[in-house]
Structures are given as C-alpha cells and as structure tokens.
Amino acid sequence: MKYPEFIKVEKFNSLHDNMSEVELLRKFSENLKVIHTLTTSHYTDFNQLIKEYLEAGLKIFDMDIGIVSNIQGQDYLVCDAVTPDNSLGEGDKFELEGTYCREVVKSQQVIGFPHVGSLEEMKSHPVYQNMKLESYLSAPIFKEGKIFGTLNFSSTRVREFGFSEQERDLISMMASSIGSFLLLREKEENIENSYQRIRKLTAYVAHDLRSPLGNILSIAEIMPELEEDERNEFLEVIKNSSQKSMEIVKTILEAAILGEGKITLEKRKVSFEKIFKEVEREFQSKLGNLKIETKFDSGVLELDRERMIQVISNLLSNAIKYSKEGSVISINSKKENGKVYFEMKNIVDDELVKNKIVGSSEESSIGFGLEIVNEILALHDSKLETKTESGIYIASFLL
C-alpha cells in the first residue's frame, strides 16, 4: 500500500489544538526531557523498561494503547502492552498480517496513520474492522541491524493534525533506545553464560580429573617398592587412568570451544552409516558383554563429519556407561519426510543411574558430553530429544 506521509514541520499547525507556538515549544521541550530521562535511566529488567516507555509514550503522543512487540517470522508477539481495559498482555500472539505493524515491518521505517478510516486501503483491515483504531504511530525496533519488533501507539480518536516530524523523531529515539537495551542485555547475558560455563568447566576438572590423576600419583610413589609382576599390573592402572584423563581434557576443550561459538561447520556429503561404524570400532573394547544392533536406511547426508563423530561418540559412550549387563544397544537411522531420523535405545541399569539423571550434562561422569551433542546438533539446525519409557532410554534427533 502507499503509506501516508508525515506532515512537514513548516506545514504543521500544532501538536495540540489551541496551543501557541511558545506553548508548543515548551511542550516539545518537556517531551524531550521525558525521553532523555528514559534513555539515561539504568534498567536491569526489560519488562520494567518497556512499561515505563509505554506509559511515557501514551502521554507524549496522547494515545490510548501502547505496545512493544517482537516479530518472529509471521508472528506478532506482545512483549508488553498498556490498554484502557487491560485486554492485551505479555505473550499474546497474533498473525503479523493482521496488524497495522505489518506496514512498519515491510517499510522498515516510522509510519503514522492519522485517520485510518480515510484510507481506502485500510478500511478493510481487520484491526480497523474489529477495534476501529483510527490513529496509529509506530517505529521499528532494530537489534544489530535486524528488526526485533515495533514500538506502537494507537487510539480510536482521529489525529486531526496528523503526526509531526518532531513526534516521528521522538518515537524513533524511544525505539532506538529499546533496541540498544536489547543489545546490551544480550551482551550481558553472554558474559554471564560464559562465566557460568567457566565455573562448570572448573568444577568438572576439579571433580573428574582428581581421581585418575590421584591414582597415577599414588602408584608413582610406590612403584619403586613393587615387584615386577605387581608393576605390570599397576602399569595397566596408570594407562587406564591416563586415557580417562585425556578423554576428560578433550571433552573440556571441545566444550570450551563450542561455548565460545568459534566452531564453523565443514559440511560435505558423507554416509551416516560409515560414520557410525567408525565410532563403533573405537568402542569395541568398552562393550564388554553388551551388544549393538544397527539398522541404517539414511543414505548420504550433507553434514560436518568430524562434528557428527563427536555426537555419536558421546551418545554411544553414555549408552554403554548406563546399559544393563548383557543388554542390546539398538541403533536405527531412516529417512522420514525428507529428513533423516536417528534413534539410539538402551536398557537402563537402575543401580548405575541411582542418584543420577540419565542424559543430563550435569553428571560428573558424563560432564559436558551431552552439552556438546546439543551444541553441534544446533549448528546442524537440529536438537537432541531424550526420554525414558519402561526402563528404556531413547535419544534421537532429526537431520
């Protein structure tokens, strides 16, 4: 549609009827002070920020309804709203096409409709039909150059004098400030997440490395006093402890790199079955009396081979660690609706998982294994699904 233009400053008669130029200037100055107070205030909570912005905007623009929205695809999500009858609230969702904000998203600029009923293109709009909102002023909220949502104000009253350039500038400043807060909040959350990740990594190192390294140190101290046959026995313990330590260090490094978001995928066409067979060979010595049954019907996939090996290795390690003695680990891969479905099942040993949560990345014995799985799958636009049914643990994902 053709968007109505804003009334230029030199043609604008008044922000409010019957005000002199001095009064108009004073009013504009007061509004600037309100915006300045909002933009320089320190907010720690997004809900508090948008509530105050909405309440201030309703007074500045003399409107009845104020909304901050988040646009996700074709969905219009209400972050917060101020309405006379409290009919809108956080979490309400509408189709973007059914809102006035559709025009803001399309044009990516501030838009004002002083009198919607006078626009032939808008008379049949569902918002106008249902709510008779005659006036509307909205600005896009950008975060890192992309539209996050909109800041908009509306009323059932017609704006006789339209919207001025000053008002457009004011709502632009408000929307820009909200976008800056969102970016700052995201950066602070990333810092906090990194800090929590470092704490988890440190705790994991302290807990899981202590045992194998302690074994090695203890044996090293008594080694000179041992007979030759005893030394051979303890050398095997040292070897196993060293391998466990190396596995832990490798997991920690992988988790740290993934957490920093520095991993880029090197996708190429590979056989999913060949990837699994390669991993399976590495785990043969750890199977004991467990058996693995496989069924593959997935063909060739485009993915990062090395990263997918990490995924399968962590899932198989988890299954072997908590499977019932003598049971079967079932692996199934098949095509499903144009994608490939992968599923791993194992019978859980209740004694082994007592006081532990199977599949949780918080387990000291698993550490960050499943966290690595989730992050790699996310890079492949997938995610891990886990559940337990009648003692059978099921891990699956769709590629």
List the chain pLDDT tens, one digit each, 399 residues.
666 666 554 444 445 555 666 676 677 777 778 787 777 777 777 788 888 889 999 988 889 999 999 999 999 999 999 999 888 888 999 999 999 999 899 999 999 888 998 888 888 888 898 889 999 999 999 998 899 999 999 999 998 777 877 888 889 999 998 898 888 888 877 777 777 767 766 665 665 566 667 777 777 778 777 777 777 777 777 777 777 677 667 666 666 666 555 566 788 888 888 888 888 877 777 788 888 888 888 778 888 888 888 788 888 888 888 888 888 899 888 887 778 888 999 988 877 666 454 443 334 444 466 777 887 888 888 888 888 888 888 888 988
Single pTM value for the model: 0.55
Confidence at residue 83, expressed as pLDDT on a 0 to 100 scale:
93
Nearest to 167 by CA among 128, 148, 139: 139
Q: Residue 282: what residue type? A: E
Q: What is the per-residue pLDDT for 362? A: 38
- The one-letter code for the residue type at 96 is L
CA distance 67 to 390: 48
d(CA 173, CA 191): 27
- CATH: 3.40.190.10, 3.30.565.10, 3.40.50.300, 3.40.50.2300. Which one for 267-398? 3.30.565.10
pLDDT in tens, 211-259: 667 777 777 778 777 777 777 777 777 777 777 677 667 666 666 666 5
281's tokens: 């060979």
- Residues 393 and 348 sit within 8 Å (Cβ to Cβ): yes
CATH topology of domain 9-187: Beta-Lactamase (3.30.450)
pLDDT at 299: 75
CA distance 346 to 353: 13
CA distance 5 to 379: 44
Task: Assign residue 152 a region (left: φ > 0; alpha: ψ between -120 and 50; beta: otherwise).
Answer: beta
Q: Using DSSP, state whether 64 is helix, strand or coil.
A: coil
